A and B are shown apart, each in its own frame.
Chain A
Amino acid sequence: MENGILEIGPGQLALALVFILAAGAASLYHGLKLERDLLVGTLRTFVQLFLLGFILRYIFHLNSVWPVLAVFFFMIVFATRIIRERVKEKQVSFFWPILISMVISYSLVSILVTGVVVGARPWWKPQYFIPLAGMIIGNSMNAVAISLDRLLGELRKRRQEVEMMLCLGADYQEASKDMMTTAIRAGMIPSINSMMAVGVVFIPGMMTGQILAGADPVLAIRYQIVVMIMLVGSTAIVSLLAVLLVRRRCFSSGHQLVLRPRNTGSK
């Protein structure tokens, strides 16, 4: 299988740039004003992936647990920052709740998948752990962002309803139960949908990669099944944890909804 992959040389890489040049030309001709972004995007693709390639090669070479965990943690922190950027919320801070829920759920799923399901020895074997963990984080990051955005939006929009229940003797969990389930569902539906469509509507990237690398498609699908299932699993755990932790922060110890309508209290 080692010889199954065709190498792409520097000349061939450069050749691929023809497509970018064509896109740039189209942009100039039609006044799309995308030349700059195309240039920056192409440069970033090259630089980031080359860096990644060398870092991974170095880590594979080190073959020690700490660099692997460092990469894992770096990915999580970065994902947390991306979510914080995407969910624009000033009144409730949620950096730590997201970080904590991500560390817990991703560690659990990644270790279980590489160590037990795939059976890599040791469990942190970088060739398995880093790509699999990366896929988990990259995919369920969106679910967390969607869930949190939905949770905060629902609590704001349905403030009257939450307070109505609080006034009738509900605790904060009871008063926000419906908003919480709506939020978790919203985060999970895309990954459930992709389980429905996989193999029919699209061929997943990882499987494509393995087939290109010369793997037997029937072996590749096994990996893909594991990946799909672990994505749904990690999405469920991380959305649930993140929503529960952030919901806690939306209420004070006196069971008061601290999320306020956006215009009051911020004069």
Chain B
Amino acid sequence: MAAGSIIDFCNVSFGFSREVPLFTGVTLTIRKGGVYLVQGPSGAGKSTFLRLINRLEEPLSGEILFKGRPLSSYPPPVLRRSILYVQQTPTVIDGSVRENLLLPFSFKNNTQFEQPTDELLKTLLVDFLLRDVGLGDNALTLSLGQLQRLCFIRGLLLSPDVLLLDEPTSALDRESGQVVESMVEQLNRESGLTVLTVTHKEPKPGLITPLLLKVAGGHIREVIWKMES
């Protein structure tokens, strides 16, 4: 375990079957408080990489550590709400926006969290340019872009240590996308949140220079970012 690391991959191999490996012998370190962009060709395993980190997938061999301990040493629900993965396809239940935002608080492993008030939820909706969305609206009537932000907010409410975002701004216009990005930056700056984002977009020059993880050919490597100016 390297100093200042939060997640370590130790010689991790993965494949959906043993004959067809997706990753072989991946060793890398995610630093605490780092902001990472995960890039690579389609089908290279970017989403799978994130799913390995929150243990939705199990490596065929090797080990993944979170805060120096193997992922398997944490109860899965506790691990997953600390390493929060926001799915590529925003998924909601058939219910109101409020019910969806409060859904995580109904799970027995999350009982120590205090349920956010309507006031807080409304403020968050406004912050994310969802002023027109009411807490009582059925979530299934929202647009894809609205759902993406809703699912993002729902994840933030659990105050995770690590945030895994799978193309979080793919359906957002420029303005809404920037709101999400600046919220990520703010959380990173203020509470040291570690963020890994799968994206096809080039990052805009901002306060934080992201680190780049390239997923290709069965390997994941940290590469030096070359900002084109």
Report A's interface with B, CB cutoff 8 A: 160-161, 163-171, 174, 252, 254-256, 260, 264-267
CB distance from B105 to the nearest CB of A (A): 9
Once the chains bind, are A256 and B80 in contact (CB under 8 Å)?
no
Chain A neighbourhood of B108, CB < 8 A: 171, 174
16 contacts between A and B (CB under 8 A): A160-B87, A163-B56, A167-B85, A168-B103, A168-B154, A169-B78, A169-B109, A169-B158, A170-B104, A171-B76, A174-B106, A174-B107, A254-B58, A256-B56, A264-B16, A266-B17
Nearest 6 interchain pairs by C-beta: A169-B81, A265-B16, A168-B104, A255-B76, A164-B91, A169-B77
Chain A neighbourhood of B155, CB < 8 A: 167-168
Chain B neighbourhood of A171, CB < 8 A: 76-77, 107-109
Most B C-beta atoms less than 10 A away, residue of A164, A169, A252, A264: A169
Interface size on B, residues (CB 8 A): 34
**B155 closest partner in A (C-beta):** A168
Once the chains bind, are B91 and A160 in contact (CB under 8 Å)?
yes
Q: Is B55's CB within 8 Å of the partner chain A?
A: yes
Bound together, the chains give a CA A82 to CA B154 distance in angstroms of: 45
Partner of A167, one of B19, B87, B89, B106: B87
Q: Is B93's CB within 8 Å of the partner chain A?
A: yes
Q: Is B188's CB within 8 Å of the partner chain A?
A: no
Report B's interface with A, CB cutoff 8 A: 16-17, 19-20, 54-58, 72, 76-78, 80-81, 84-87, 89, 91-93, 103-104, 106-110, 151, 154-155, 158
Bound together, the chains give a CA A264 to CA B15 distance in angstroms of: 11
Partner of A169, one of B17, B55, B56, B80: B80
**A260 closest partner in B (C-beta):** B16
Once the chains bind, are B57 and A256 in contact (CB under 8 Å)?
yes
Once the chains bind, are A161 and B91 in contact (CB under 8 Å)?
yes
Chain A neighbourhood of B76, CB < 8 A: 166, 171, 254-256
Chain B neighbourhood of A267, CB < 8 A: 17, 19-20
Interface of B is mostly: mixed
On whether A163 and B87 interact (CB within 8 A), knowing A171-B76, A171-B77, A254-B72, the answer reads yes
**A166 closest partner in B (C-beta):** B80
Once the chains bind, are A169 and B110 in contact (CB under 8 Å)?
yes
Bound together, the chains give a CA A260 to CA B17 distance in angstroms of: 12
Bound together, the chains give a CA A169 to CA B76 distance in angstroms of: 8
Once the chains bind, are A167 and B84 in contact (CB under 8 Å)?
yes
Once the chains bind, are B20 and A168 in contact (CB under 8 Å)?
no
Once the chains bind, are A256 and B91 in contact (CB under 8 Å)?
no
Bound together, the chains give a CA A83 to CA B218 distance in angstroms of: 41
Bound together, the chains give a CA A161 to CA B100 distance in angstroms of: 12
Bound together, the chains give a CA A267 to CA B110 distance in angstroms of: 39
Bound together, the chains give a CA A254 to CA B19 distance in angstroms of: 23
Once the chains bind, are B93 and A167 in contact (CB under 8 Å)?
no
CB distance from B57 to the nearest CB of A (A): 7
Chain A neighbourhood of B58, CB < 8 A: 252, 254, 256
Once the chains bind, are A168 and B17 in contact (CB under 8 Å)?
no
Chain A neighbourhood of B89, CB < 8 A: 160
Chain B neighbourhood of A254, CB < 8 A: 55, 58, 72, 76
Once the chains bind, are B107 and A165 in contact (CB under 8 Å)?
yes
Bound together, the chains give a CA A161 to CA B103 distance in angstroms of: 12
On whether A161 and B93 interact (CB within 8 A), knowing A256-B57, A260-B16, the answer reads yes
Once the chains bind, are A167 and B16 in contact (CB under 8 Å)?
no
Chain B neighbourhood of A266, CB < 8 A: 17
Bound together, the chains give a CA A163 to CA B78 distance in angstroms of: 14
CB distance from B18 to the nearest CB of A (A): 10
CB distance from B226 to the nearest CB of A (A): 33
On whether A165 and B16 interact (CB within 8 A), knowing A160-B89, A256-B56, A256-B58, the answer reads no
CB distance from B149 to the nearest CB of A (A): 15
CB distance from B106 to the nearest CB of A (A): 8
Bound together, the chains give a CA A169 to CA B104 distance in angstroms of: 7
**A264 closest partner in B (C-beta):** B16
Once the chains bind, are B56 and A166 in contact (CB under 8 Å)?
yes
CB distance from B136 to the nearest CB of A (A): 21
Chain A neighbourhood of B106, CB < 8 A: 174
